[in-house]
Amino acid sequence: MEAIDLVKINFNPQQLKLLNVCLAFLMFGVALDISRKDFLYVLKAWPSIVAGLVSQLILLPVLTLILIYIFHPPVSVAVGMVLVSVCPGGNVSNFMVHLAKGNAALSVTLTSIVTLGAVFLTPVGFYFWTSFTYGEQYLNQELSVSPTDILVTVFTLIVIPLLIGMGFNRYLAELSKKIRKPVKLFSILIFITFVIVAIFANLQNIVDHVSKIILIVIVHNGAALIMGYFFARLFRRSKYDARAISIETGIQNSGLALIIIFNFYDGLGGMALITACWGIWHLITGGLLSAYWSQNPTQSSPNM
């Protein structure tokens, strides 16, 4: 066992529950700017859904394999990279797309589809893509994702806050206008708090081992964001949709990956560390990219 595999990540399931409550609030804030016509637009623009699914489910794992063969990291780190790549998009991605003035309805649709499909896609994808690496020994684990947990996640973090927010937007329009700005500001504050807490909770591990994996995390995450955007543009999708596809590809549900690692791999340090660092870094890059795009609105809109 390599030294990096002895690392123990500070991961508290109770903190995850609190995080989920905060994510639900972020989703409520996003929904205040979404209406039924936005989803009707998404259904008409179904090629954007296809492009988003291909980018996340196929291109991201392929990119991951390429980077594994370039960097040739420790086995547990390589397997952790694959696990991150086959997890659904992170729930905070919807907030980031909204902040980036991208297609939030498309983002919500992609997150919901891939999260619901994670019951099948995450275990199968992990076994399939790991078979192309040098981490075959990790395939002996009986990996599974609870359908009940997935359904609860989708309804509590996405569907319910979405319906409440859209309900405010439609039936309490005046109140919705009044609270939209303070909700957005509070959402940004929550988001920044995520980053700070995540860094300080694992500060010593980051200091001790960051040099071994930081370049991998930066390149992996950055390449995913860039690939998602330009693949969408190559697929002749608008910039409005491409922003959503980029963020959905580059923001992964590292929380789910950590749960799997702690349940099935005893918190194996290499896997856990690459996942935790990805989880922190993608908040930083996603936040910066969203902030940049928010200052540069696209000409595309749901009505075009």
What are the structural domains of the chain? 3-294 (1.20.1530.20)
Give the Cβ contact number of residue 194 at 10 Å.
18
Residues paired with 89 in a beta bridge: 252
Q: Which residue type does 188 have?
A: I
Whether the Cβ atoms of residue 135 and residue 78 lie closer than 8 Å to each other: yes
pLDDT tens-place values along the chain, 304 residues long: 455 555 555 555 566 666 667 767 777 876 776 677 767 777 787 899 999 999 999 999 999 999 999 998 888 888 889 999 998 887 688 889 988 999 988 988 888 788 777 777 888 888 889 888 876 665 555 555 566 665 676 677 777 887 888 888 788 878 888 887 788 777 667 766 766 766 676 666 666 667 778 899 999 999 999 999 999 999 999 999 999 999 999 998 877 777 677 666 766 667 878 887 888 888 889 999 999 999 988 765 544 4
Q: How far apart are CA 53 and CA 277, in angstroms?
A: 24
**Would you state the pLDDT for residue 246?**
96
DSSP 138: G
Distances in whole angstroms, Cα of residue 239 to Cα of each of 5, 95, 111, 117, 248: 41, 17, 19, 26, 14
Taking each helix axis as running N to C, give the angle between helix 13-31 and helix 173-201, from 0 to 180 degrees, rounded to the nearest 10.
Answer: 150
**Would you state the pLDDT for residue 238?**
92
Taking every pair of Cα atoms in the chain, the longest distance, rounded to a whole number of angstroms, is 60
Q: What's this model's pTM, rounded to 2 decimal places?
A: 0.77
**Would you state the pLDDT for residue 15?**
62
Q: How far apart are CA 178 and CA 172, in angstroms?
A: 10
Q: How far apart are CA 34 and CA 119, in angstroms?
A: 28
**Would you state the pLDDT for residue 292?**
94
